[in-house]
Amino acid sequence: MKATRFYATGRRKTAIARVWLSHGSGQVDVNGRDLLGYFRRDVLRMLIEQPLKVTEHLGKLDIRATVVGGGLSGQAGAVRLGISRALVAMDESLRPVLRRNDLMTRDPRERERKKYGRPGARKRFQYSKR
């Protein structure tokens, strides 16, 4: 029996997205709100739609995602990776196309922790000679 829903997890910075794909009319639902309601910036919406455009599935799949942590940019990146992974779970032949467009790679960059005795992670207090 073939699955009707496909699940994957995406991460970026401190954001974690759980993504479910199912065949449908192309509706995207993030944390109970539509895509335009949650991600207001065009750049973030474009980022999320990237895996669907590359694989020519835009408007053919319904996407439901729940995202926690991070800011909007990190959340959009997490949803993008989750969609890419779910597409591969749905159809393994899409992996080379997604890999070629660098959509299967998890961005490893994380925020560096603040060190004691400093105002930030690397910033130092202003040096005073006198």
pTM of this structure: 0.89
> What domains appear along the chain, each with residue ranges and CATH number?
5-100 (3.30.230.10)
CA distance 12 to 80: 9
Q: Mind listing the pLDDT tens digit for each residue in 1-57?
A: 467 899 999 999 999 999 999 999 999 999 999 999 999 999 999 999 999 999 999
CB under 8 Å to 33, separation ≥6 — which residues? none
pLDDT score at 3 = 73
Give the whole-angstrom CA distance, residue 68 versus residue 3.
26
pLDDT digits (tens, 9 = 90+) for 62-102: 999 999 999 999 999 999 999 999 999 999 999 999 999 99
